């Protein structure tokens, strides 16, 4: 097997297999350093930040006094990198005197900060490529002549060190492979990802927006996006109520002491917003989880064994402190609404309740046409038990119960040590995204810890107090992430029951046929159909094309014949043919489409 020379941040050089993940990362690190070198050479006075290889890409941050590097300049930078590769580009390891290194970058505050961050005993370990120096932070190829199959992908803004309080820099993204075919396959996948990107589609279909100027990670749901979300919320509430859940509303603020009792403050503090001092000794916290709130609902009344299982559910708004650099559309946000539920059960009810919850989840998946999923049993890491609730007996009992419940249902699953919540094991249902990546959609978690910490009890048949077991479950996760997932799976062409606009009506002549179109629209709205009548002064062909662009499931064209016959001319999304139908036949077909959750008959 072919090997390549890779240098470690300490200057040690070793040969490693070319096909290894470590080799691919070192290749991209070399490409990043080469990009940094050509930027320094091409733009006098440019300030350079990190040069990083991560996952399947690399990036370099930079800043200029004049206009930043634009996407139009990427092709020229690629040519410069290729020239550098042909000129026997080689990386040298040097331990430079810190003062000398700082003198070279005296007008570059970002490079200055990087050098100071990595300086030790008056020295700083650096990679040298031509006239460019970079702090040695990650393994890198020694020779750059293999950097042939690469592509600079895009430019974007990025806060220095991922903190919104720092300056915004220009980030240039790229990727690199050893083989030409691998690069071509990656670029094809990226194009597919771009076409399915919920942020792009959300903008095209006017579903939502996020404006960092008024709150990074805080999405605004526009009317069409709100229609999709509202449909999902009504659906899930109806399903849960039919399954025996009692829906509640609880505050988004809670006394900090509750999160200290629950253990969230100890184990989850970095993901929580700072507490708010109310000035009278009370400290309030934006909730990162809903479980302590539902515990208060349970505690509000004296409970008996006759009350169990007690199922409490809520579309609960939560807040998580995500760093600016991690925020992404609806997938990573700071405010989210979780389809949350908690069931309080007696010990002998765990298996039956677990099966009931799993049956609900799988039924919901069927309605959303989610078929590609697997079951992951997330367990405590036996080698690192310090980050978990300290009760070995509880962990052994709860983990064995989950395994037995899955075995009873004859469902295949795989085990993942270290993926448990800090208070108990869980079953994660892993779905495939539109691009084939794993994502946790639903969870069922057993919890013996919180009932103990909050002193939860119920009166048993024997008249004595007993402690219930708490089951946490989420069916479709947060509304934000679920809508992002569906947007990418459907590529914006939502099935009729979810589509923000289900029917688009176009009168051939607004003067002649506008009233008939409005009458038809009113009849559809009375049947709870989301419909728009297009009265704009535009050509009919343009209106039809735009309805297709907006991916409306049904477009109706009405003219003289339709008025005379009480009919409609129907064009479905993605089809070129139009079919004439009576209004009643169309209504019957449309309502059947919605009632079946747009599943093929």
Annotated binding site for Zn(2+): 291, 342, 472
Q: Would strands 373-379 and 414-417 be described as parallel, antiparallel, or unpaired? A: parallel
- Mapped onto helix, strand or coil, the DSSP state of residue 24 is helix
* Whole-angstrom distance, CA of residue 515 vs CA of residue 70: 51
Residue 236 dihedral angles phi and psi, to the nearest 5°? -70, -35
Residue 519 host element (H or E): helix 510-526
* Whole-angstrom distance, CA of residue 479 vs CA of residue 394: 32
Q: How many CA atoms lie within 13 A of 334 on its CB side?
A: 19
Q: How many CA atoms lie within 13 A of 105 on its CB side?
A: 23
Binding residues: 291, 342, 472
Closest CA to 210 of 336, 23, 309: 336
* Whole-angstrom distance, CA of residue 333 vs CA of residue 217: 4
Residue 398 host element (H or E): helix 392-408
- Mapped onto helix, strand or coil, the DSSP state of residue 67 is coil
Strand ranges inside 64-131, DSSP E: 92-97, 123-129
Q: How many helices (H) and strands (E) does the chain have?
A: 19, 30
Strand ranges inside 178-265, DSSP E: 208-209, 220-221, 246-247, 253-255
Count of other CB atoms within 10 angstroms of residue 468? 24
Whether the ω angle into residue 181 lies within 30 degrees of 0, i.e. cis, is no
421-448 burial, b at 16+ Cβ within 10 Å, e below that, comes to bebbbbbbbbbbbbeeeebbbbbbbbbb
* Whole-angstrom distance, CA of residue 122 vs CA of residue 178: 38
User: What are the residue ranges of helices labelled H in 253-387?
Assistant: 256-262, 264-267, 291-299, 350-367
* Whole-angstrom distance, CA of residue 425 vs CA of residue 422: 8
Terminal Cα distance for the chain, rounded: 53
Whether the ω angle into residue 202 lies within 30 degrees of 0, i.e. cis, is no
CA distances from 107 to 41, 111, 137 (A): 15, 9, 22
Look-up of token digits 């095209």: 204
* Whole-angstrom distance, CA of residue 191 vs CA of residue 194: 5
Closest CA to 175 of 27, 368, 303: 27
Residue 490 host element (H or E): helix 479-490
Structural contact between residues 259 and 272, judged by C-beta atoms closer than 8 angstroms: yes
State the helix-helix crossing angle for 392-408 and 350-367, rounded to 10 degrees: 50
Count of other CB atoms within 10 angstroms of residue 197? 19
């Amino acid at each position: 097997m072919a090997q390549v020379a890779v240098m470690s941040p300490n200057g040690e050089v070793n040969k490693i297999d070319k096909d290894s993940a470590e080799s691919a990362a070192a290749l991209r690190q070399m490409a990043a350093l080469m990009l940094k070198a050509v930027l320094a050479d091409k733009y006098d006075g440019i300030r350079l930040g990190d040069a990083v290889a991560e996952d399947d890409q690399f990036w370099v941050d930079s800043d200029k006094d004049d206009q930043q590097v634009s996407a139009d300049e990427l092709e020229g930078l690629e040519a410069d990198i290729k020239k550098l590769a042909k000129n026997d580009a080689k990386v040298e390891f040097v331990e430079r005197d810190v003062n000398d290194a700082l003198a070279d970058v005296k007008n570059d505050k970002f490079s200055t900060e990087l050098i100071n961050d990595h300086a030790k005993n008056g020295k700083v370990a650096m990679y040298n490529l031509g006239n460019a120096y970079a702090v040695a932070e990650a393994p890198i190829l020694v020779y750059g002549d293999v950097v042939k199959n690469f592509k600079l992908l895009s430019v974007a803004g990025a806060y220095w060190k991922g903190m919104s309080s720092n300056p915004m820099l220009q980030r240039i993204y790229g990727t690199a492979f050893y083989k030409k075919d691998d690069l071509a396959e990656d670029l094809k996948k990226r194009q597919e990802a771009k076409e399915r990107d919920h942020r792009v589609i959300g903008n095209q279909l006017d579903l939502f927006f996020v404006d960092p100027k008024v709150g990074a990670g805080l999405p605004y749901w526009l009317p069409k996006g709100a229609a999709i979300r509202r449909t999902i919320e009504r659906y899930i509430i109806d399903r849960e109520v039919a399954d025996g859940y009692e829906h509640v509303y609880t505050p988004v603020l809670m006394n900090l002491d509750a999160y200290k009792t629950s253990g969230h403050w100890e184990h989850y503090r970095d993901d929580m917003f700072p507490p708010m001092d109310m000035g009278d000794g009370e400290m309030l916290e934006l909730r990162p989880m809903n479980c302590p709130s539902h515990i208060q609902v349970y505690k509000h009344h004296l409970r008996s064994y006759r009350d169990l299982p007690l199922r409490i559910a809520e579309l609960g708004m939560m807040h998580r402190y995500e760093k600016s650099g991690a925020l992404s559309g609806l997938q990573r946000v700071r405010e989210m609404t979780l389809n949350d539920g908690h069931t309080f059960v007696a010990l002998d009810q765990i298996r039956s309740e677990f099966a009931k919850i799993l049956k609900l989840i799988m039924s919901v998946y069927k309605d959303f046409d989610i078929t590609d999923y697997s079951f992951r049993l997330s367990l405590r890491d036996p080698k690192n038990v310090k980050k978990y609730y300290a009760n070995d007996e509880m962990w052994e009992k709860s983990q064995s119960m989950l395994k037995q419940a899955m075995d009873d249902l004859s469902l295949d699953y795989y085990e993942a040590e270290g993926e448990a919540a800090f208070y108990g094991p869980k079953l994660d249902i892993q779905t495939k995204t539109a691009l084939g990546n794993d994502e946790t959609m639903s969870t069922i978690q057993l919890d013996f810890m919180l009932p103990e910490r909050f002193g939860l009890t119920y009166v048993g048949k024997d008249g004595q107090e007993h402690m219930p077991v708490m089951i946490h479950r989420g069916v479709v996760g947060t509304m934000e992430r679920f809508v992002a997932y569906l947007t990418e799976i459907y590529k914006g062409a939502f099935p009729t029951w979810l589509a923000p606009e289900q029917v688009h009506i176009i009168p051939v002549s607004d003067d002649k046929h506008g009233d008939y179109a409005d009458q038809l629209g009113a009849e559809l709205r009375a049947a709870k159909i989301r419909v728009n009548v297009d009265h704009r002064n535009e050509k009919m062909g343009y209106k039809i094309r735009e309805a297709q662009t907006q991916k409306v499931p049904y477009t109706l064209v009405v003219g003289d014949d339709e008025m005379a016959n009480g009919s409609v001319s129907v064009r479905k999304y993605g089809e070129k043919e139009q079919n004439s139908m009576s209004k009643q036949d169309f209504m019957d077909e449309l309502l059947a489409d919605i009632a079946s959750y747009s599943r093929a008959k």
